[in-house]
Amino acid sequence: MLLYFPKLDKIWKNTEFDQSHYIHWHLNRRVCSGKHFPSYFKFEISHDAIPQEQWLNLIALAESGDHTGVKKALCDSARTQLLLTEIDCAATLNQISENSCKTLLEVFITNSNLLQHDKILFSPFGYALAAILHSLTIDNAWPIVQKNLTNASNEWLIIATQLQQTKNASFLPFKQDHWQEIINEAMNRIHAATKNDTLWTWHQPITALSAWEKEKGPKDMQTWLKTQLTKKDVLLRLATTCYVGGDTLVIENQELLPDEFIDAVNKFLAQTPSDLTAEESHKLICFKSAWEQTQAS
C-alpha cells in the first residue's frame, strides 16, 4: 500500500515530503496524485488532468522547434491552463529539454492569448514562464528575448517587469541591463497606451498600472488616472473590494488610487437620474464603505 500511496508514510513513519515529491507524482500520473486518482477507477481522464498523448504531442512539437505547432496545441486546447501548469511542473523538475524550453519561451513571449486568467504573474502562464526561464542560461534565454522584444505581447512585458520586481529575479537568466531593456519596452508601451487611450483594452490594465507605479513611482500614474475618472467603466473597474478575515471589507489596489477617486465615486452615486445598474450601484456603495473604514482607522 505504501508503494501506491507514499503519503501514508507520513502517518506511520513521520516521513516528510516536499513539493518536489508532489510534482513528481503528478508528472508520473501516479494513483497518489489527486488529479490522476479518479482515472484509475473511472477509466477516464479527470476534468483537471491532461491526457498523456496531448502532453507528449506538445513536448514533441517544442523539441522539434515547431513554434506554430506549439502555439496551436496550446491555444486550441480546452485545457490550456492545465497544460501551462504541466509545463511549470515539468520545467521545475528539469524534465523539459533545453531546446523545448527555448521554443516554449519564444511562443510565450509573443502570444498573450495563452493568458486566460484574472491574474498575470500569479497565474499558470506566469508560473510556467518563470519555470522555463529558470531552466535556461543567459546565453540561451536572452538572445530569444532580445530578438522578440519589439514583438512581445503587452502582457508578457508586464509579467517580466513583475518578475524583476520579485525576490526571485536573481535566479532568472538576465543581467541588470537585460532587465532594464525589458522594463524600458514595457514602460514605453504603457506610455503609448495612455496617449492613445488603449490601456483599458489590455488584458489586465490595472496590473500594468501597478507595474508603472512600482517602477516610476505614483505621481505620473495617478496624474493620468485622474483624467480617466469621468468614465463609468473605468471607475467600476478600479472600485474593487474584497473581504479578508471573513468580514473585513478592504479595497484592492488602493495604493494606485488618487485621493480624488472617492469624489468621482460620490458623483456617480449622486447622479439623478442614475445611469448605474443596481449591481453597479451596489459595487460603488461597497467601495465607499470600505474607503470610509480606511479613513476612520
The per-residue pLDDT for 121 is 54
Residue 280 neighbours by CB under 8 Å, 6+ apart: 232, 236
The per-residue pLDDT for 244 is 84
The per-residue pLDDT for 44 is 54
Q: Name the phi and psi angles at 244, rounded to 5.
A: -125, 145
The per-residue pLDDT for 166 is 85
CA-CA-CA-CA torsion sign (106, 172, 161, 84): positive
In our burial notation (b when 16+ CB lie closer than 10 A, e otherwise), range 56-67 reads eebbebbeeeeb
The per-residue pLDDT for 230 is 95
Which cell is 217 given?
A: 513611482
The per-residue pLDDT for 8 is 54
For residue 273, whether the previous peptide bond is cis, meaning omega lies within 30 degrees of 0, is: yes
- Residue 248: strand, helix, or coil: strand
Task: List the one residue out of 193, 205, 277 whose CA is nearest residue 234.
Answer: 205
Mark the ranges of the chain whose per-residue pLDDT is less than 50.
31, 40, 118
The per-residue pLDDT for 245 is 75
Q: Do residues 98 and 136 make contact, with C-beta atoms less than 8 angstroms apart?
A: yes
Q: pLDDT tens digits for 111-136?
A: 866 655 545 556 788 889 999 999 99
Q: pLDDT tens digits for 22-68?
A: 555 555 555 455 555 555 455 555 656 678 888 899 999 999 999 99
Instruction: Kindly write down the DSSP assignment for every residue of 20-37, as one continuous string.
Output: HHHHHHHHTT-TTSTTTT
The length of the chain is 297
Task: List the one residue out of 100, 109, 184 whose CA is nearest residue 142.
Answer: 109
Domain-wise residue ranges, the chain:
239-297
